[in-house]
C-alpha cells in the first residue's frame, strides 16, 4: 500500500502529543542560542521551484553561525567549488531548513525559515578574520525552531567508534569520482595529499 494522503498517514502514526506537539518555537531563546554557539556543523536544506531538493553540509569552528537577534541568523558561504546549489535554490524560493549538530551531543536543533543571499559589507565584516572571508552570506529569518530528540544519533552511535571506518581502507574521493565519471584514469593525488591541499584552502 502506498500512502497518498495525510489522512492515511495519520491513521498509521496518529498525532503527536505533549512536548512533541508543543515544542515548536518561533524565535530563539537561551537554549537554542547556546546550541548554535556550540555547533561546528549543520546540514542546510533547500529546494527550487520545481521541487528539486538539496541538502548541503556547512561547517566551521563553534560560533561560525552568527546570531543577529532572536529571529535572524547569518551563515557564511565558505569557499567551495562554485556549484552554489543551495544559493541558487534560495534565490529561487527562499525556503531553508537547518539541522545543527554538536559532537558528543545526541540531540539536534532544527530551524526552518526564509533565506536571502547578502553581500552587505557590514555582514561580510563579521567574518573578516577568516582565512578566506566569504563572498556572500546566507541571512535566515527564523520561522520555526525546535529541538529534536536523541534517538536517531543513539541508534547510529554517531559519536562512538562502533561504526568508524579506517580511512586507508576506504576509496579516495578521486578514485570514486573517476569510477563514477568513467574516466578510467588513476588519480594522481593520494588521500593524504588531498587533505593537505584542503587545509590550505579552508
Distance (Å, rounded) from C-alpha 39 to C-alpha 158? 15
Q: State the span(s) of the chain assigned CATH 2.30.110.10.
A: 17-156
Would you put residue 168 in left (φ > 0), alpha (ψ -120 to 50) or beta?
alpha
- Residue 143: pLDDT above 80? yes
Distance (Å, rounded) from C-alpha 177 to C-alpha 187? 9
Confidence category of residue 154, pLDDT binned at 50, 70, 90: very high
Interacting residues of 117 by C-beta distance below 8 A, sequence separation 6+: 77, 87, 90, 91, 136, 137, 138, 139
pLDDT per residue as tens digits for the range 39-71: 999 999 999 999 999 999 999 999 999 999 999
Distance (Å, rounded) from C-alpha 56 to C-alpha 65? 15
Interacting residues of 29 by C-beta distance below 8 A, sequence separation 6+: 70
Q: Write down the pLDDT at residue 201.
A: 77
Percent of the chain residues topping a pLDDT of 90: 79
Instruction: Give this prediction's pTM.
Output: 0.93
- Residue 128: pLDDT above 80? yes
pLDDT per residue as tens digits for the range 64-116: 999 999 999 999 999 888 999 999 999 999 999 999 999 999 999 999 999 99
Q: What is the mean pLDDT of residues 133-154?
A: 98
Q: What is the mean pLDDT of residues 31-36?
A: 99
Topology of domain 17-156, CATH: Pnp Oxidase; Chain A (2.30.110)
Amino acid at each position: 500500500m502506498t500512502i497518498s494522503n495525510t489522512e492515511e498517514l495519520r491513521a498509521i502514526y496518529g498525532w503527536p502529543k505533549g512536548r512533541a506537539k508543543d515544542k515548536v518555537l518561533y524565535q530563539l531563546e537561551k537554549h537554542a542560542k547556546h546550541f548554535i554557539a556550540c555547533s561546528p556543523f549543520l546540514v542546510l536544506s533547500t529546494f527550487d521551484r520545481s521541487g528539486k531538493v538539496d541538502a548541503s553540509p556547512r561547517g566551521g569552528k563553534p560560533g561560525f553561525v552568527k546570531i543577529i537577534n532572536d529571529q535572524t541568523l547569518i551563515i557564511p558561504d565558505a569557499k567551495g567549488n562554485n556549484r552554489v546549489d543551495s544559493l541558487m535554490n534560495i534565490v529561487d524560493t527562499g525556503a531553508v531548513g537547518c539541522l545543527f549538530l554538536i559532537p558528543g551531543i545526541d540531540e539536534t536543533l532544527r530551524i526552518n525559515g526564509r533565506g536571502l543571499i547578502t553581500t552587505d559589507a557590514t555582514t561580510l565584516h563579521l567574518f573578516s578574520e577568516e582565512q578566506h572571508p566569504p563572498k556572500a552570506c546566507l541571512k535566515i529569518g527564523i520561522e520555526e525552531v525546535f529541538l529534536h530528540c536523541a534517538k536517531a544519533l543513539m541508534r547510529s552511535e554517531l559519536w562512538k567508534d562502533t561504526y568508524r571506518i579506517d580511512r586507508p581502507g576506504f576509496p579516495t574521493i578521486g578514485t570514486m569520482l573517476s569510477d563514477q565519471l568513467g574516466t578510467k584514469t588513476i588519480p594522481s593525488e593520494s588521500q593524504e595529499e588531498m587533505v593537505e591541499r584542503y587545509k590550505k584552502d579552508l
